[in-house]
Chain A
Amino acid sequence: MKLYNNIITRGAAIVTIASLITFTGCKKSFLDVPTQGAPPATQFFVTADDATKAVNSIYANLREWTEVAFAPIALESLGSDDTETGSDPSDGSVAFMNLYDSYTVTSTQGQLLDFWTGRYKTINLCNQVLDNVPNINMDANLKARYLAEAKFIRAYEYFRLVRAFGDVPLRLHVPTANEFNIPRTPKAQVWAAIEQDLTDAAGVLPQSYAGVNVGRATKGAALALHAKAAMYQQKWSDVLAFTNQVMGLGYSLFPSFEQQFRTNNENNSESVFEIQAELVPGNAAASNSQYSQVQGVRSVNGGGWGFNVPTQDLANSFETGDPRRDATIIFRGETTPQGDPIPASVPNPMYNQKSYVPFSLWQSGFNEGCQQNIRVIRYADVLLMNAEAANELGQTQPALTSLELVRNRARGGNAAILPQVTTTDKTALRNAIWKERRSELAMEFDRYFDVIRQGRGTEVFGPRGWKANKNEVWPIPSTEVEKSGGTLTQNPGY
Chain B
Amino acid sequence: MKRIITISLCGLLCLLFINRASAQNITVKGTVTDSKTGETLVGVSIAVKSTQTGTQTGPDGKFTLSAAPTAELSISYIGYATQTIAVAGKTDIDVKLVAQTNELQQVVVVGYGTQRKLDVTGSVVQIKGEEISKQSSVNPISSLQGKVAGVQITNSGSPGASPEVRIRGLGTVYGNANPLYVVDGVWYDDISFLNPNDVESLSVLKDASSEAIYGIRAANGVILITTKKGSKNTKATVNYDGIVGNQVITNEFKLANGQQYATIINELDVLGGAAQGRYADPNSFGTTDWNHQIYRNALITNHNLTVNGGNDKSTYNVAFGYLKQDGIVSTNTFDRYTLRIKNDFELSQYLKVGYTLTGNLNQSRDIDGSIFHQTYAAVPIVPVRYADGTYGDPNDFNVTSSAMFNPQVTLDFFNQRSKTYRANGNVYADLKFAKHFTFHTSLGGDYGQGAVTNYSPLYTATFSQRSTKSTLTLTNNQTRNWIFENTLTYQNTFNKDHSLTVLLGQGAQSYRFNQTIESAENVPDNGNGYYLSQGNNYKLKDVEYGQYPLYSTVSSYFGRVNYSFKSRYLLNATLRADGSSKFSPSERWGYFPAVGAGWVISEEEFMKNQSFFNTLKLRGSWGKNGNMGVPAALSTLVVTQNDGLIYVGPGGYTSPGANITTIVPDQIYWEKSSGTDIGIEASMLKNRLYAEVGYYDKRTDRAIFDAPILSSIGLSSSSGSSIISNQATFQNKGFEFLVTWKDKIGKDFGYTLSGNLGINQNKVLSVAGNNYIDQAVNTVGSANINTHTVLGQPIGQFYGLKVVGIFQTPEEVAAYKKGDNQIMPNAKAGDFKYQDVNNDGVIDDKDRVVLGNPNPKFTYGFNTAFTYKNFDLAIDVQGVAGVDIYNANVALRFGTENYSQDFFNNRWHGAGTSNTYPSANIAGGQNNRSNSFYVESGSYVRVRNMQLGYTIPTAITSKLNINRLRVFVNAQNALNFFSYKGFSPEVGGGATRAGVDANVYPLYATYNFGVNVGF
Please give the residue numbers on chain A whose beta carbons come within 8 Å of chain B beta carbons, in ascending order. 1-2, 4-5, 8-9, 11-12, 15-16, 19-20, 23, 27, 30-33, 35-44, 50, 52-54, 56-61, 63-64, 70, 88-96, 98, 102, 104, 106, 108-111, 113-114, 116-117, 120-125, 127-129, 168-169, 171, 174-175, 180-181, 211-215, 266-267, 276-283, 285-288, 298-299, 301, 345, 347, 363-365, 477-480, 483-484
Q: Are A41 and B650 in contact (CB under 8 A)?
A: no
What residues of chain A lie closer than 8 Å to B554, measured between beta carbons? Answer: 31
A285 B581 Cβ-Cβ under 8 A:
no
Known: A35-B633, A61-B644, A89-B921. A281 touches B537 (CB 8 A): yes
Contacts of B896 in A (CB 8 A): 90
Does B471 make an interface contact (CB < 8 A)?
Answer: yes
Contact of B641 among A31, A53, A123, A175 (CB under 8 A): A53
B330 at the interface (CB under 8 A from A): no
Query: Would you call B653 an interface residue if the criterion is a C-beta within 8 Å of the partner chain's C-beta atoms?
Result: yes
What's the count of A-B pairs with C-beta under 8 Å?
320
Q: Are B657 and A60 neighbours in the complex by a CB distance under 8 Å? A: yes
Q: How far is the CA of A113 from the CA of B351 in the complex (A)?
A: 68
Q: Does B53 lie at the interface of the complex (its beta carbon under 8 Å from any beta carbon of A)?
A: no
Segment among B228-236, B336-344, B712-720 that sits at the interface with chain A: B712-720
Chain A contacts for B272, CB-based, 8 A: 88-90
Judge if B348 is at the interface, Cβ distance under 8 Å.
yes
> Can you list, as one digit per residue, whether each of B449-473 has a CB less than 8 Å from chain A (1) or not (0)?
0000000000000011011110100
Of the candidate stretches B212-220, B414-422, B840-848, B875-883, the one touching chain A is B840-848
User: Which range contains the number of B residues in contact with the other chain?
Assistant: 35 or more
Q: What separation, in Å, do the CA atoms of A373 and B809 have in the docked complex?
A: 47
A242 to B649 CA separation, bound complex (whole angstroms):
27
B539-567, CB < 8 A from A: 539, 545-555
Sorted nearest first, the 7 A-B pairs with minimum C-beta distance are A282-B537, A124-B714, A110-B783, A38-B546, A110-B782, A285-B643, A56-B657
B643 contacts A283, CB within 8 Å? yes
- Cβ of B708 under 8 Å from chain A: yes
Q: Taking each of B350, B545, B552, B713, which has the highest tally of chain A beta carbons within 10 Å of its own beta carbon?
A: B713
A40 touches B636 (CB 8 A): yes
Query: Besides A89-B271, A110-B783, 14 other CB < 8 A contacts?
Result: A8-B350, A30-B555, A31-B579, A39-B639, A60-B647, A89-B273, A90-B896, A121-B716, A124-B661, A212-B653, A301-B464, A345-B398, A477-B711, A483-B710
Closest chain A residue to B926, Cβ basis = A95
0/1 per residue, B9-30, Cβ < 8 Å to A? 0000000000000000000000
0/1 interface trace, chain B 27-41, chain A, CB 8 Å (1 if under): 000000000000000
Determine the chain A residues whose CB is within 8 A of the CB of B660 once the complex forms: 41, 44, 128, 174
Q: Which residue of A lies closest to B637 (CB)?
A: A41
Q: How far apart are the CA atoms of A4 and B431 in the complex, in Å?
A: 12
* CB of B925 within 8 Å of the partner chain: yes
Given the known interface contacts A50-B658, A171-B714, A364-B469, the answer about A91 and B638 at a Cβ–Cβ threshold of 8 Å is no
Contact with A along B830-844 (1 / 0, CB 8 A): 000000000000101
Chain B residues with Cβ under 8 A from A278's Cβ?
648-649, 652-654
- Given known contacts A8-B433, A93-B780, A108-B844, A52 and B655 CB-to-CB distance under 8 angstroms: yes
Q: How far is the CB of A71 from chain B (nearest CB, A)?
A: 9
Residue pairs across A and B with Cβ atoms less than 8 A apart, 6 shown, are A8-B348, A44-B658, A59-B647, A122-B714, A364-B468, A365-B467
**Do A12 and B431 contact each other (CB < 8 Å), given the known contacts A104-B825, A113-B783, A212-B651?**
yes
Which of A61, A94, A106, A479 has a CB less than 8 Å from the CB of B844?
A106
Given A266-B650, A364-B469, do A90 and B846 touch, yes or no (CB 8 Å)?
A: no
Q: Is the CB–CB distance between A98 and B439 below 8 Å?
A: no
Cα A59 to Cα B649 with chains together (Å): 10
> A211 — which chain B residues lie within 8 A by C-beta?
650
Judge whether B506 and A23 touch: CB under 8 Å.
Answer: yes
Shortest CB-to-CB span from A311 to chain B, Å, is 16
Q: Is B955 among interface residues, defined by CB-CB distance under 8 A?
A: no
B541 to A, closest residue via Cβ: A285
Whether B711 contacts A116 by the Cβ 8 Å rule is yes
Contact B708–A483 (Cβ < 8 Å): yes
Q: Interface residues, chain B, CB within 8 Å of chain A?
A: 1, 268, 271-273, 348, 350-351, 398, 400-402, 431, 433-434, 439, 441, 463-464, 466-469, 471, 484, 486, 488, 506, 508, 519-521, 536-539, 545-555, 579-581, 585, 588, 632-633, 636-661, 708-716, 721, 780-784, 825-826, 842, 844-846, 891, 893-896, 921, 923-926, 928
Pair B923/A92 contact, Cβ less than 8 Å:
yes
Q: Given A19, A44, A120, A282, which contacts B713 in the complex, CB threshold below 8 Å?
A: A120
Contact (A111, B846) CB under 8 Å given A38-B639, A90-B921, A104-B825: no
Contacts of B638 in A (CB 8 A): 35, 37-41
Q: Which B residues are CB-close (under 8 A) to A40? A: 636-639
Query: A90, B466: Cβ atoms under 8 Å?
Result: no
Central interface residue in A9, A56, A92, A364, by most chain B CB within 10 Å: A92
Check A283 against B640 for contact (C-beta < 8 Å).
Answer: no
In-complex Cβ contact of A64 among B431, B521, B641, B644 (8 A): B644
CB contact between B895 and one of A42, A57, A90 (< 8 Å): that residue: A90
Q: Is the CB of A212 within 8 A of B711?
A: no
Contact residues in A for B924 (Cβ distance below 8 Å): 89-92, 94-95
Shortest Cβ distance from B650 into chain A, in angstroms?
5
Q: What residues of A have a CB within 8 angstroms of the CB of B712 in the complex?
A: 116, 120, 168-169, 171, 480
Q: Shortest Cβ distance from A159 into chain B, in angstroms?
A: 16
CA distance A457 to B400 in the complex (A): 36
Chain B residues near A286 (CB, 8 Å)?
643-644, 646, 648, 654
How many angstroms between the C-alpha atoms of A36 and B655 in the bound complex? 24
Shortest distance between the CB of B954 and any CB in chain A (Å): 45
CB within 8 Å for A8 and B351 given contacts A1-B1, A33-B552, A56-B657: yes
Flag if B711 contacts A56 (CB, 8 Å): no
Instruction: Tell me the smallest distance from the CB of B12 to a CB of chain A, in Å.
Output: 19
Q: Does the CB pair B708–A23 fall under 8 Å?
A: no
